[in-house]
Amino acid sequence: MDFSDQALVKKAQEGDYYAFEALVNGYEGKVYRLAMRMLRNQEDAEDALQETFLQVYRGLRGFEGRSTFSTWLFRLATNVCLMKIRQKGTEPAQLLPLEEYLPQHEEGVHPQIQEWPEKPEEVLLNKESREKMLEALAKLPADYRAVFILRDVEGFSNAEAGEALGISVAAVKSRLHRARLTLRGMLAGYFQRKEI
C-alpha cells in the first residue's frame, strides 16, 4: 500500500482496519524507540507502545488534521511516557542546578564546559558513548528528556516538538538549552577521558 498518512488516516476514520494497521506498522518502531529512550525499560516501553496505539484508535475519529498525524501520534506517545514516569514517582521533580553536574577543581571553581567533539546523534551511534549518554539522559527530568529526544534524537523542529509536547517554541528552546548544558556537564569527564 502506498498511501500517505493523510489518506490512511481518512480511510481509518471511515473504519478501514487495514489502513489503521498500516499506520501502526509505519510508526510502531519510532514510537517504541521514543518510549525506550524515555522509560529505559523494555516492559514499560511495550506497555507505552500499546497504550499509545489504543489512544490513537479511540481518538482517531476526532483527529481533525490541524497538525500532522505523526506530530499528534508523538504527542500521545510522549504523554503516555510522561504519565508512566509520574506514576512511578522515581523522577527528579526539577532540574538540579547545572553546577551540581560540573566537575570541580580542588579550589571549588567550575571549569569551562567544553564543546562535545561529536554531535549528540553521532554519540548515540557509538555503543560505549551511547550507554553513557543514555545513563545521563535518564537522570534528566522527564520534561527535559522529552524535548532533547524529540529535537536532537528524532530530529523534530522546535515547532514540531512544541506541538508534540503542548508547549511553546520558546519553552522548547529553553528546555533544550538547559538539557544540553546539563548533559554536557554530566558527560564532560567522560569525553575528556576519551580524548586522552
Domains in the chain with CATH codes: 5-88 (1.10.1740.10), 98-195 (1.10.10.10)
Joined grid coordinates for residue 80: 503516555
Give a three-class secondary structure readout of 54-119.
HHHHHHHHHCCCCCCHHHHHHHHHHHHHHHHHHHHCCCCCCCCCHHHCCCCCCCCCCCCCCCCCCC
- pLDDT for residue 131: 81
Q: Measured over all CA atoms, what is the biggest interatomic distance in the chain, rounded to whole angstroms?
A: 68
Question: Could you report how far apart the first and last alpha carbons of the chain are, in Å?
Answer: 52
pLDDT tens digits for range 23-72: 999 999 999 999 998 998 899 999 999 999 999 999 999 998 888 899 99
Joined grid coordinates for residue 86: 509520574
| DSSP 8-state class, residue 166 | T
Element (H, E) at 152: none
Joined grid coordinates for residue 28: 510502531
Instruction: Mean pLDDT check: name the lowest of 22-36, 85-99, 149-163.
Output: 85-99
- pLDDT for residue 125: 57
What three-state secondary structure class fits 121?
A: helix
Write down how long the chain is: 196
CB neighbour list of residue 76: distance below 8 Å, 6 or more residues apart: 52, 55, 56, 59
150 neighbors 165 (Cβ within 8 angstroms)? yes
- pLDDT for residue 129: 75
Question: Which of 128-136's residues contact partners 24+ apart within 8 Å by CB, and which partners?
Answer: 129/190, 129/194, 132/187, 132/190, 133/183, 133/187, 134/37, 134/40, 136/183, 136/186, 136/187
Q: Which of 83, 71, 35, 73 is nearest to 53 (CA)?
A: 73
pLDDT tens digits for range 160-183: 999 989 899 999 999 999 999 988
